[in-house]
């Protein structure tokens, strides 16, 4: 993602972190990756969604020393100074293909003093069920529960995101969607409507009136809130960072003004949450509430491939630090092959227990197309059961990291009654488990 990093007296311009999908730029990016590795002693910042580039990034991480635990000074420096990679458009849950950003911002934001995550005793809880679904709601089907009707299937989820276009009265599935939204539910089910915030991802997104019109169409259907996709700085087009942040803040304010909740997706949480100092002006973060949700996509597993464990931890700890200051909920989203048996599928177990480890409020494991109708997984939505930790268990420590002899990087967080372990090699191997200690009689 695009933001400026300072390493002592060295300033790395924002455009160095603009990632291109053309592999020929790999040659240009390698010196930057090496520079960042030498400065941070962390992993390369190349995107891991491309298999060839992923190998370079993984091989660049040659340190055998454990990462410091969450909340330490070393980790906080890592959170501040190490850029997150930009995913390929296939990793971003959009209703249409995304455009490659080309603009270099004219403003160079400078980060304000960093946030330090404060460890507090927290219960070990199972996340609620998230259902991001880009198919037609009337055609929604489950692989694991094929007998369910679409209405029954959606009842499996606590928070639902419905795809673009359904709010338009001319859409063929508009009436069914409206009935689904307005149907009484036994629980406090939330349903969000999709709106693309990006400027580079569709021609009309820069038109504020068209965005407000989409909000109002969803509102007329009785929606809970708006799912703002492509909200990161890399989709801001020609806007500098100041104009980008003001635009995000304005759209969030417009959403709240209509008594709607905000569910927002930006790959780099710094784009939305880090306060920036520019000259004498402080560019504040958007005004999130405790009802709003931040999406962490590609959580541990993305497109059936394990995310580089160092980069996953960097992103998880940044978000943990911000949650000490901003009152938002966290949704963790992993994508892989379907259907699966969650009890035996390693990628599900790794992503799920990683979500529990970092206190995610919502979790979903789904196909990379999110059930989009024009794909092989069209209209598929599976509500996999979530393993439940012991109700009385609480975290007793921070996240600790170890590099194992077989190349796996393992993350451990102890609880009063046991421990959670997750690990991966950043490629094809991974695992996750919650283990309760044996109690002596």
User: What pLDDT sits at residue 204?
Assistant: 60
Distance CA(279)–CA(143), nearest Å, equals 55
Second CATH level (architecture) for the domain 111-366: Alpha-Beta Barrel (3.20)
- Is the separation of the CB atoms in 195 and 233 below 8 Å? no
Which of 290, 292, 174 lies closest to 231, judged by CA? 292
Say how far apart CA 368 and CA 366 lie, in whole Å: 7
Q: How much is the pLDDT for 34?
A: 37
pLDDT at 337: 92
Q: Which of 63, 38, 105 is nearest to 308 (CA)?
A: 63
Per-residue pLDDT, 329: 98
Looking at residue 184, what is its pLDDT?
76
Ranges under pLDDT 50 in the chain: 1-83, 85-116, 118
4/17 Cα distance (integer angstroms): 8
What confidence tens digit (pLDDT) does each residue in 73-120 have?
333 333 343 445 444 333 334 333 333 333 333 444 444 444 445 455
Domain boundaries, the chain: 5-83, 111-366, 400-436
pLDDT number for residue 76? 38
Tokens read off for 402: 């170890």
Phi, psi at 36, each rounded to 5°:
-65, -35
DSSP 8-state assignment for residue 141: B
Most distant pair of Cα atoms in the chain: their distance: 68
Backbone angles phi, psi at 161, to 5 degrees: -120, 125
Q: Which residues contact 149 (CB under 8 A, 6 or more apart)?
A: none
Q: Which residues of 407-432 are buried (b: 16+ CB within 10 A; e: fewer)?
A: ebbbbbbbbebbbbbbbbbbeeebeb
For 221-287, where are the E strands, in sequence order? 225-229, 261-265, 276-278, 281-283
Pairing state between β 190-196 and 225-229: parallel
Query: CA–CA separation, 297 vs 330, rounded Å?
Result: 10
The full length of the chain comes to 441
The pLDDT score that the predictor gives to residue 286 is 93
List, for residues 201-246, the tens digit of each pLDDT value. 976 666 889 999 999 999 999 999 999 999 999 999 999 999 999 9
């Amino acid at each position: 993602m695009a933001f400026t990093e300072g390493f002592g007296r060295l300033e790395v311009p924002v455009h160095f972190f603009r990632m291109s999908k053309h592999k020929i730029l790999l040659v240009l990016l390698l010196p930057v990756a090496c520079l960042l590795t030498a400065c941070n002693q962390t992993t390369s910042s190349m995107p891991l969604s491309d298999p060839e580039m992923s190998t370079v990034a993984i091989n660049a991480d040659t340190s055998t020393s454990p990462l410091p635990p969450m909340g330490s000074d070393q980790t906080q420096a890592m959170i501040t100074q190490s850029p997150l990679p930009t995913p390929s458009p296939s990793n971003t849950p959009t209703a249409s293909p995304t455009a490659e950003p080309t603009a270099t911002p004219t403003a160079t934001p400078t980060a304000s003093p960093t946030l330090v995550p404060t460890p507090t005793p927290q219960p070990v809880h199972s996340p609620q069920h998230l259902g991001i679904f880009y198919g037609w709601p009337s055609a929604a089907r489950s692989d694991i529960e094929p007998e369910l009707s679409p209405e029954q299937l959606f009842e499996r989820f606590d928070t639902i995101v419905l795809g673009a276009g359904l709010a338009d009265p001319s859409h063929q599935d508009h009436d069914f969607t409206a009935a689904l939204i307005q149907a009484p539910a036994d629980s406090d089910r939330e349903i969000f409507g999709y709106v693309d915030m990006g400027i580079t991802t569709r021609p009309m997104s820069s038109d504020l009136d068209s965005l407000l019109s989409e909000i109002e169409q969803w509102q007329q259907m009785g929606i809970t809130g708006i799912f703002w996709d492509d909200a990161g700085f890399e989709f801001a087009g020609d806007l500098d960072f100041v104009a980008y942040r003001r635009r995000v803040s304005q759209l969030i304010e417009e959403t709240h003004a209509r008594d709607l909740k905000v569910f927002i997706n930006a790959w780099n949480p710094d784009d939305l949450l880090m306060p920036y100092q520019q000259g004498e002006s402080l560019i504040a973060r958007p005004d999130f509430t405790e009802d709003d949700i931040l999406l962490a996509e590609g959580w541990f597993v993305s497109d059936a491939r394990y995310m580089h464990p160092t980069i996953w931890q960097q992103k998880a700890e940044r978000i943990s630090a911000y949650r000490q200051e901003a009152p938002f909920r966290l949704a963790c989203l992993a994508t892989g092959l379907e259907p699966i048996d969650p009890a035996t599928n390693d990628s599900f177990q790794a992503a799920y227990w990683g979500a529990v480890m970092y206190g995610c409020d919502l979790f979903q494991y789904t196909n990379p197309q999110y059930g989009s109708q024009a794909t092989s997984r069209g209209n598929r939505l599976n509500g996999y059961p979530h393993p439940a930790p012991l109700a009385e268990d609480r975290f007793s420590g921070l996240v600790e990291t170890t590099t194992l002899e077989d190349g796996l990087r393992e993350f451990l967080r102890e609880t009063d009654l046991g421990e959670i372990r997750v690990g991966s090699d950043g490629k094809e191997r991974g695992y996750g488990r919650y283990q309760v200690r044996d109690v002596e009689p």
